[in-house]
Structure 1
Amino acid sequence: MGNKKIGGIIIVHSTFVNHTLYPAYQDVDSLDKAIFPSNISLEEAYTMQHLFTAAKEHNGEKLQGYKISMTSPETQALFDASEPLYGQLTSNRVRNTLSLSKDTAHALIELELVFLVQEELSSEDSIEDILKKTTVAPGLEVPDSRFQDWFPKMSKEQVCIDGAVGGYVCYGSSKKATYEDLDNIQGRLIHNNQIIAQDSSRTVMGHPVKAIEWLLKKLSTQGLSLQPGMFISSGTFIMPKVLAAGTYKGEFDNFGTVTLTISE
């Protein structure tokens, strides 16, 4: 009976992902939050996220990296969460130009450092190992949802299903970094030459590499690891801002600048 129930749940979740969620992703469509499956656990939500990624891969995309959401007490409080969430992103979600009308539905923008994996990473790696096996780049992340009026009005389980509201990532040139290099650096989000937000790397779980450490431990419980060539958008320095047309720059002390151009 238990196996039948589990099998039935997976079929229901797969139907929702393949016939509702993925078409909305493909068509940059907006769905009513009321159609979300109710009363699901976070474990089920991750299963559905992985089904969502599988649907993308079935249609020619490739898993390229991860984003980590809710890496500060402030953002966790918005979604009644006690730990971060991760989302899977495919290769075609790495972009330095976007169209508001064609590429996004309900997008925000965040200021993040992006870690690029040079050697396989697992939960057994220490913080020192993580830094030896990665390089770090200035980054901007564009969270976006398939659901209307989502921020901050969805449950953490709903956010998780939607790839942790996976939108797009943009990053610049990377370099090796030590723990001290990444500690308490200042980042600035600039829109059309005006600073619109700024804060410290300590906003991200006290230190961005701790977010990568969290991700590795979380992935290990699901039999996953990080492979060479993957990226991790490690968590926002700032509260998300609504995405608008124009030119965005992310500036990070000692880590350079990345530029994202948004057309109408």
Structure 2
Amino acid sequence: MTEQNVTLNSKQEAFAQALYKAYQSKQPLTMTDWDGVVTDDDTAYAVQDRFAELKKLPTSGYKVSLTSKQTQDMFDSDSPLYGQQVDSHFLPSPALLSLKEQTMAPLLEVELGFRAKEDLKPDDSFEDLLHKTTVCGTLELPDSRFADWFPDLSKYNVMSDCAVGGYVVYGTERPADVAFANVAEAATVNVTLYHDGKKEKSGKSSEVLGNPFKSLAWLVSKLADQGKVFRTGQLISSGTFLLPPHLTKGKWEAQFDHGFGKVTVNVTD
């Protein structure tokens, strides 16, 4: 069964409405108020679909979460999960972001982004995906409609909340088959994260399911299971190279190798 077959009950519909209201007002929800309202994956994605529908904006891309064993264990999951993102939440680097006006309780992740040059299909091989996408470095800024959410929010509430989607800052895009000689090379990207010029963390792309193309392939297949298509022009932020710090004010910069350069977000109060 996919969430296409799920009819939300009154509590689940109220949950989707509450998520949307918090999204608009920046007034966070309390976790205990919504515990147990969603108890399975299909319903969680159905609530997410309803939350996304209430925004009355098309889905311009996705973020994939829980792409390492460490983060899966934190949220008691054995697979990744995805969230839908609207166009205004994809920002080209260098980006400017206000904590007070645009976020609630954001983190910061360093990832690779892939944009579809044509519709992606579940039977596409990794080699096909290499030729059908552009790739860039991203800073993904997860954010939740719940107060004090990380790392205690339940997996189903994370899923319902568009996988705690916030903003995605993306760097210069190149054809993936230009950036990488082959699929395996995508697992060898290194990054160093700086905050106000001070080194904070470093990570590598192999943290993302062993290779970020696996994250992309997972999403394309998952969407197909739900009767959806990863369409031309849509962008995925494919999973974090490192355990995320809290986003605070100042200049955050990810320095990638493999020619991806810097991705920067300047954060104000």
Alignment of 1:115-264 (within 5 A): 115-177=114-176, 178-254=182-258, 255-264=260-269
C-alpha deviation, 1:9, in angstroms: 3.4
- Indicate yes or no: 2:37 matched with 1:32: no
Cα contact 2:184–2:211 (8 A) shared by 1: no
User: Aligned equivalents of 2:184 and 2:149: distance in 1?
Assistant: 36
Corresponding residue to 1:78 among 68, 74, 77: 74
Corresponding residue to 1:63 among 32, 56, 59: 59
User: Aligned equivalents of 2:15 and 2:68: distance in 1?
Assistant: 31
Q: Which residue of 2 aligns with 1:3?
A: none
Letter in 2 for 1:210: K
Spell out, residue by residue over 1:28-86, the C-alpha distance to the aligned partner (whole angstroms, 9 max, x if none): 221110121515211100000011110112xxx32110000000000000000000010
Spell out, residue by residue over 1:81-116, the C-alpha distance to the aligned partner (whole angstroms, 9 max, x if none): 000010000011113221011111111000011101
C-alpha deviation, 1:165, in angstroms: 0.3
User: Aligned equivalents of 1:241 and 1:186: distance in 2?
Assistant: 18
Q: Unpaired segments of 5 or more residues in structure 2?
A: 177-181
Spell out, residue by residue over 1:94-153, the C-alpha distance to the aligned partner (whole angstroms, 9 max, x if none): 132210111111110000111011110021111111111101001100000010111110
Cα contact 2:194–2:252 (8 A) shared by 1: yes
C-alpha deviation, 1:187, in angstroms: 1.0
Give the match's secondary structure for 2:188: coil
Letter in 1 for 2:202: Q
With 168-177 and 179-188 compared, the bigger mean Cα shift is at 179-188
C-alpha deviation, 1:12, in angstroms: 3.5
Spell out, residue by residue over 1:229-249, the C-alpha distance to the aligned partner (whole angstroms, 9 max, x if none): 110000000001000001111
User: Aligned equivalents of 1:132 and 1:10: distance in 2?
Assistant: 43
Runs of 4+ in structure 1 deviating by more than 3 angstroms, as ranges, are 6-12
Letter in 2 for 1:132: H
Q: Which residue of 1 aligns with 2:179?
A: none
C-alpha deviation, 1:10, in angstroms: 4.0
TM-score (structure 1 length as normaliser): 0.93
User: Aligned equivalents of 2:202 and 2:159: distance in 1?
Assistant: 26
C-alpha deviation, 1:7, in angstroms: 7.8
Corresponding residue to 1:87 among 60, 69, 83: 83
Q: Unpaired segments of 5 or more residues in structure 1?
A: 1-5
Give the match's secondary structure for 2:223: helix
- Percent identity over the alignment is 39
User: Aligned equivalents of 2:78 and 2:213: distance in 1?
Assistant: 19
User: Aligned equivalents of 1:239 and 1:7: distance in 2?
Assistant: 33
Give the match's secondary structure for 2:51: helix
TM-score (structure 2 length as normaliser): 0.91
Give the match's secondary structure for 1:237: coil
User: Aligned equivalents of 2:6 and 2:170: distance in 1?
Assistant: 40
Letter in 2 for 1:46: Y
C-alpha deviation, 1:14, in angstroms: 2.2
User: Aligned equivalents of 2:107 and 2:204: distance in 1?
Assistant: 19
Corresponding residue to 1:23 among 21, 24, 36: 21
Q: Which residue of 1 aligns with 2:113?
A: 114
CA root-mean-square deviation: 1.4
C-alpha deviation, 1:11, in angstroms: 4.2
Give the match's secondary structure for 1:138: strand
User: Aligned equivalents of 1:176 and 1:194: distance in 2?
Assistant: 31
